[in-house]
């Protein structure tokens, strides 16, 4: 069922209340999500983005209930990833030859995925426009690396709507569509989680793109992303947040993160957390077990932190595989300007703190000299080391 956004612009996407993961299992979804598709019905009819392939038939049936599919003059594919392009093959079977406006890189991604080089691609770049009638046009803006090389946004003049695709989105199902109608706790929690886990590696591009958008001096009344809620009440609030987040964001928070075999390293984690709280009472201190807490949520907490302490016991001359895998993901997210310290228990050889130090350094963290390398279970003897770690992390 279509829903009105403004004047002749409608949402025709899929709200997926049941979705529980994304990008395979790499992104946890806790409150549903949506794939937002938009229909612009001016003198010309334009479909902006589609939905994920499993929802393709439902999407096309709903669209056919609203309009004659043959009345679609243009399709805009802002991004080739399958969650937005998945219905294109079935749709273009019904309306072959309909022009598909996209970037040169999106021709590569769409052709690579669907093997239809005969689709009527119209390659656009930043500044190109498409006349939709009634004095309005779509202005295209490449959004390279936000978050794929093929990404772009489209801006509808007259209605001043920025169809931003993945940027400014959230994985959140909002039946009422608009951010001002969403649960504000969920909205911001999901917006920051989305930024951290999808866009943070590309923060340098985020900052430059926002500066470019601001320099264009166009009035933006609505930001309509391809996931989650649509921003219509002070839409620039999410742009301002992205600008802040894109510049080595951190709060006065320190996170202690660990996995443990027989609770020795867990004990250290809690003692370090308490020591930090004692030394720096104004600092938020949070403790996470890598195997019990959600991976994407922990990364969001790392993003907010100015420092982390990371712990693993030694196992087979190395660290636990859970911590190893977590560190791999940590490196991919390319956090900057954060301190770290390492800790861990061991029975025999005790390599874990060295491995943690090397991997955290490779992930871009400034690893403090003090560490807690504890033989067997912690005793009072570890106290000084714990205080030294806490001091190194707490000092600003
Ligand atoms: Fe929502 Fe990059 O796809």
CA dihedral 307, 20, 58, 108 (to 10 degrees): 40
- How confident is the model over 42-50, as a mean pLDDT? 98
Contact between residue 264 and residue 313 where contact means Cβ atoms under 8 Å apart: yes
pLDDT, tens digit, for every residue of 57-96?
999 999 999 999 999 999 999 999 999 999 999 999 999 9
Q: Which of 16, 42, 49, 81 is catalytic?
A: 81
Nearest-CA residue for ligand 1 atom 3 is 81
Mean pLDDT for all residues in the chain: 97
85 Cα: distance to centroid of ligand 1 (angstroms): 9
- pLDDT at residue 64, rounded to an integer: 97
- How confident is the model over 43-62, as a mean pLDDT? 98
- How confident is the model over 198-205, as a mean pLDDT? 98
- How confident is the model over 287-293, as a mean pLDDT? 98
Nearest ligand 1 atom to the CA of 151 is: 2
Q: Which of 79, 171, 195, 242 is catalytic?
A: 79
* C-alpha distance across the termini of the chain, in Å: 53
- pLDDT at residue 221, rounded to an integer: 98
* Cβ-proximal residues to 151 (8 Å cutoff; 6+ apart), any chain: 78, 79, 103, 142, 143, 144, 145, 165, 166, 167
Q: Which of 16, 42, 49, 83 is catalytic?
A: 83
Tokens representing residue 231 in the block: 């921003």
Catalytic status, residue 65:
no
CA dist., res. 389 & res. 261, Å (int)? 22
Chain centroid, CA 18 distance in Å:
19
Element (H, E) at 287: strand 284-289
Q: Which residues are 156's β-sheet partners?
A: 138, 161
Whether the predicted pLDDT of 174 surpasses 90: yes
172 Cα: distance to centroid of ligand 1 (angstroms): 14
Catalytic status, residue 227:
yes
Contact between residue 39 and residue 2 where contact means Cβ atoms under 8 Å apart: yes
- pLDDT at residue 396, rounded to an integer: 85
Nearest-CA residue for ligand 1 atom 1 is 166
Instruction: Please calculate the CA angle 359-362-368 and round it to the nearest 5 degrees.
Output: 75
CA dist., res. 359 & res. 312, Å (int)? 12
- pLDDT at residue 1, rounded to an integer: 79
Catalytic status, residue 81:
yes
pLDDT, tens digit, for every residue of 347-369?
999 999 999 999 999 999 999 99
pLDDT, tens digit, for every residue of 217-275?
999 999 999 999 999 999 999 999 999 999 999 999 999 999 999 999 999 999 999 99
- How confident is the model over 338-347, as a mean pLDDT? 98
From residue 253, alpha-carbon distances to 116, 187, 287 in Å are 50, 21, 11
43 Cα: distance to centroid of ligand 1 (angstroms): 29
DSSP helix, strand, coil percent of the chain (3-state; round to 5): 40, 25, 40
């Amino acid at each position: 069922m279509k829903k009105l956004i403004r004047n002749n612009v409608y949402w025709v996407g899929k709200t997926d209340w049941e979705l529980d993961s994304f990008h395979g299992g790499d992104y946890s979804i806790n409150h549903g999500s949506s794939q937002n598709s938009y229909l612009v019905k001016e003198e010309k009819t334009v479909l902006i983005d589609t939905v994920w392939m499993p929802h393709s038939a439902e999407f096309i049936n709903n669209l056919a209930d609203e309009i004659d599919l043959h009345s679609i003059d243009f399709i805009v594919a802002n991004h080739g990833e399958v969650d937005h392009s998945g219905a294109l093959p079935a749709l273009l079977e019904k309306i072959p030859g309909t022009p598909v406006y996209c970037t040169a890189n999106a021709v590569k991604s769409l052709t690579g995925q669907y093997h239809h080089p005969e689709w009527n691609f119209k390659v656009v770049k930043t500044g190109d426009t498409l006349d939709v009638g009634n004095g309005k046009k779509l202005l295209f803006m490449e959004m390279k690396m936000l978050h794929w090389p093929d990404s772009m946004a489209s801006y509808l003049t007259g209605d001043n709507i920025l169809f931003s695709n993945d940027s400014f989105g959230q994985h959140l199902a909002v039946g009422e569509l608009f951010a001002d109608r969403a649960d504000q706790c969920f909205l911001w929690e999901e917006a920051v989680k989305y930024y951290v886990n999808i866009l943070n590696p590309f923060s340098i591009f985020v900052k430059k793109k926002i500066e470019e958008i601001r320099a264009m001096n166009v009035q933006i009344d609505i930001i309509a992303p391809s996931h989650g809620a649509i921003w219509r009440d002070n839409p620039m609030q999410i742009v301002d947040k992205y600008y802040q987040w894109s510049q080595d964001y951190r709060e006065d928070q320190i996170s202690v993160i660990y996995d443990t075999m027989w609770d020795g390293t867990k004990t250290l984690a809690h003692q370090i957390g308490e020591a930090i709280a004692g030394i720096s009472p104004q600092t938020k201190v949070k403790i996470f077990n890598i195997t019990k807490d959600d991976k994407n949520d922990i990364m969001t907490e790392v993003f907010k932190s100015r420092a982390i302490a990371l712990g693993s016991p030694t196992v087979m001359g190395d660290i636990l595989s859970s911590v190893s895998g977590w560190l791999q993901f940590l490196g991919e997210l390319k956090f900057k300007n954060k301190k770290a310290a390492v800790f861990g228990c061991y029975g025999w050889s005790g390599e874990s703190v060295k491995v943690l130090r090397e991997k955290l350094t490779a992930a871009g963290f400034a690893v403090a000299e003090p560490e807690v390398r504890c033989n067997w279970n912690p005793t009072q003897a570890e106290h000084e080391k714990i205080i030294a770690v806490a001091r190194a992390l707490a000092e600003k």
